[in-house]
Structure 1
Amino acid sequence: MVIIIMGVAGAGKTTIGRRLAQSLGWRFLEGDDFHPQVNVAKMAAGIPLTDEDRTPWLLRLQELITEALSRGEDAVLACSALKRSYRALLTVDPTRVRWVYLWAPREVIADRLAHRAGHFMPLGLLGSQFEALEVPQEALQVDVTPGPDEVVAAIRSGLGL
């Protein structure tokens, strides 16, 4: 199974994804690590990515998911996947790809981004993230306002893990 942790920047995808993977003994994949350098440079400069910018990245993530499933490897992937079309591309096997949508009120996310250091995504792009977001109906929706341990427990409970 591959669990994809999605949401806007600052929702905690990496933190929660790593903890979830560790608690399950699964592999963790950080979607941001697979962005082409040109995408990272655009985001660092405060320029929102277009669908065209995201396509090579999404295709690489699709490949990683397909490879993991073909090997019978369980994994957790952190990936924004803000649009329905992105999620459709990454759902290579609906019986073995599960979605978790991390959400919180916008002001909570903005506060987290304002205090985050060492990441290429600036606070100024948060608005474009919320504009692009198509809230998933197919995902387990988890409020990330509580601490990470509570969020991981909610995910495990919600997915029956």
Structure 2
Amino acid sequence: VWMLTGLWHGADWNFVMWGIMFAALLIAEKTLLLGFIKKHRAIGHAYTLLVVMLCFIMFDASSVGEGFAAIAALFSRGSAANTEALYYLKSYAVPLTVAAFGATPWPKRIKAKLEATRIVGAIMAIAEPVALAALLCLCTAYLIDGSFNPFLYFRF
């Protein structure tokens, strides 16, 4: 099923390999790691992030060889930074910082404390939609600024 899911996403071997990788990891997780992951939730979260990241490297690659080369580069002793990586890190520093902050429980806690007072609660009722609209504009600007990237299904 996972291999066919990969084939559904693209007519290239890297998509099939993406499906096979997910299948193998899910089988290993269900047969070997399930009890451990349920006991150690923090490790389970880190494991999920690692697995999804590695599998989507293969999904984004132009070929199976390129995908495995990119995965191998993550674990090699080569240079930790190259000019392309530094360019992307610098270009996307603002959204990465906002995303990292938003992934913590802090925004929810801050919002709850601010809404506890009547005046600030009224201000938040106006400020929240304005802030969301500003974030939408910021995301749209980053999308427009990005280089040409053909739609996934045009890669067939």
TM superposition score category, shorter chain reference: under 0.3
Which one has the bigger helix percentage?
2
TM-score by length of 2: 0.25
Which one has the bigger strand percentage?
1
Instruction: Choose 1 or 2 for highest CA Rg.
Output: 2
